[in-house]
Each structure stands twice: as C-alpha cells, then as structure tokens.
Amino acid sequence: KQEVTQIPAALSVPEGENLVLNCSFTDSAIYNLQWFRQDPGKGLTSLLLIQSSQREQTSGRLNASLDKSSGRSTLYIAASQPGDSATYLCAPANDYKLSFGAGTTVTVRA
Amino acid sequence: DAGVIQSPRHEVTEMGQEVTLRCKPISGHNSLFWYRQTMMRGLELLIYFNNNVPIDDSGMPEDRFSAKMPNASFSTLKIQPSEPRDSAVYFCASSLSTTYEQYFGPGTRLTVT
C-alpha cells in the first residue's frame, strides 16, 4: 500500500517568500504524480502533473520536481502571494489509483 | 469548459434515510472516481469506473454503499441506510484513462444526524 508523507504539515510565510513543500512516498513504481490545491470547503484543483519519466514540470510560478527512485517530490512556489494560501496535496499514482498525503497548509501573510 | 459537476452541494439527512449523490464527468473523459474525505482518514478512493464499468470497488466501506454509471455522462453514489459515521465530503473526479490526470468536482458535503 502506498504511504504518502507531506512535510511540513503547516507553513506560514510573509508575502514574497519562496515556498518549498515536500512529499515522500513508499512505492516508487508510480505512473505519475499530481499536486493539488484545496481551498477551505472547496474541491481539489489540479496544479501540476508530472509523469514518472520526467524530472520536473513547471507552470508559471510553480515548479515540481520528482525523484522517483528515492520516492520524493517537491513543489516550489516562487514569490508567494496571499492568494496562495491553501492546503497543498501530493498524490502519486500507481496505475489509476491516487494516494493522498495529509497535505501542507500554507498561509501567506500580507 | 464545464468541469466535473456534482449535486447536491450540501445534503443533511437523518440516520436511516437513503442518500443519492450525483456526478457528471467532464465530457470525453472515460474514467470516473468517487472519493470520500474526512478529517480522520483524509481522502479515500471508494470506487473507480472505466468506460462505465466498475473496475475497483475495494474502497466501498460496506454493503450500504452502491454506485452506478448508467452512461458516460452520469454516475450516482447511493447510501442506504445512512448512518452518522457516513458524514463526510464526497468527491467525484474524472480523467482520460490515457493520462490519468484527475479533475475533481466541488464535492457534496453530507451530514447525517
């Protein structure tokens, strides 16, 4: 069974700082890995999908890296803004099955 | 483009009542997933359909839960009879089976009193 750990559980930073969110997983035989954002009381928004053959994926201020062999992924958010405040979830996929971490709750202070 | 649509958004019911949650996946997506999210257990996959056929229902907690997908644009998750421990947010997600990038709906917040 895939176990996913996200560190830290919570993070509070002043606006403008770069964010580094870590994810580790136990089963490296993944198909891909998705990073999601969840706002309070809302659904999950897909931020980035990184295929198992890729080392990184970028979208705007977001960059995700993947080291499949060591079971790690990192999400970098550059120049954080108060609108980035949310919970970020990492989800490696074994075939169709996503396994979710508990998430990192980010607060960006204006 | 419309995303995944779920209804109702909120449901409050009494223990013992039947509850039906509905989902319309993104047009063209052939995979559909039902998830449940609670504070204690996080996000759990309940059931996975591919081309309208249930492929993996190992996450369905017990016989009180059932799911159907009568066509490519509609799925239901039914709980009968409902119990207070079923209170959670239920999400539907869809994807293309070629990419497996999942897109989530806004969820249905279920409260069973």
Q: Decide: B100 and A93 in contact? Cβ < 8 Å.
A: yes
Tell me the pLDDT of chain A averaged across its residues: 95
pLDDT tens sequence across B22-41? 999 999 999 999 999 999 99
CA distance B1 to A103: 28
Q: Which residues of chain A have pLDDT under 70?
A: none
What's the pLDDT at B1? Answer: 63
How far apart, in Å, are the Cα atoms of A87 and each of A68, A90, B18, B101? 23, 10, 32, 19
| Close Cβ partners of A63 (under 8 Å, ≥ 6 residues apart) | A56, A57, A75, A76, A78
Tell me which residue in B43, B100, B105 faces A96 most closely, judged by beta carbons.
Answer: B100
Q: Does B100 touch chain A (CB under 8 A)?
A: yes
Selected residues 77-96 of chain B with any CB under 8 Å from a CB in chain A: 91, 93, 95
Structure tokens at A91: 């989800």
What's the pLDDT at B2? Answer: 82
Q: Phi first, then psi: what are they for A34, rounded to 5°?
A: -110, 145
Q: How far is CA A78 from the centre of its chain?
A: 14
> CA nearest B109 in A: which residue?
A41
CA B17 to chain A, closest CA, distance in angstroms equals 24
pLDDT tens sequence across B64-110? 999 999 999 999 999 999 999 999 999 999 998 767 789 999 999 99
Inter-chain CB proximity A34 and B105 less than 8 Å? no
Q: Decide: A73 and A9 in contact? Cβ < 8 Å.
A: no
CA A59 to chain B, closest CA, distance in angstroms equals 15
Q: Does B38 touch chain A (CB under 8 A)?
A: no
Instruction: Determine the residue among A30, A44, A47 to mutate to test chain B binding: the one whose Cβ has the most chain B Cβ atoms within 10 Å.
Output: A44
CA distance B100 to A73: 18
CA distance B25 to B27: 6
Inter-chain CB proximity A32 and B100 less than 8 Å? yes
CA A45 to chain B, closest CA, distance in angstroms equals 7
> CA nearest B105 in A: which residue?
A43
Inter-chain CB proximity A49 and B55 less than 8 Å? no
Residue type, A62: L
> Which region, left, alpha or beta, applies to residue B101 given φ > 0 means left and ψ of -120 to 50 means alpha?
beta
DSSP per-residue string spanning chain B: ----EEE-SEEEE-TT--EEEEEEPPTT--EEEEEEEETTTEEEEEEEEETTEEEE-TT--STTEEEEEEETTEEEEEESS--GGG-EEEEEEEE-TTT---EE---EEEEE-
CA B24 to chain A, closest CA, distance in angstroms equals 15
> CA nearest B92 in A: which residue?
A43
CA distance B88 to B79: 12
| Close Cβ partners of A14 (under 8 Å, ≥ 6 residues apart) | A108, A109
Q: Decide: B90 and B23 in contact? Cβ < 8 Å.
A: no
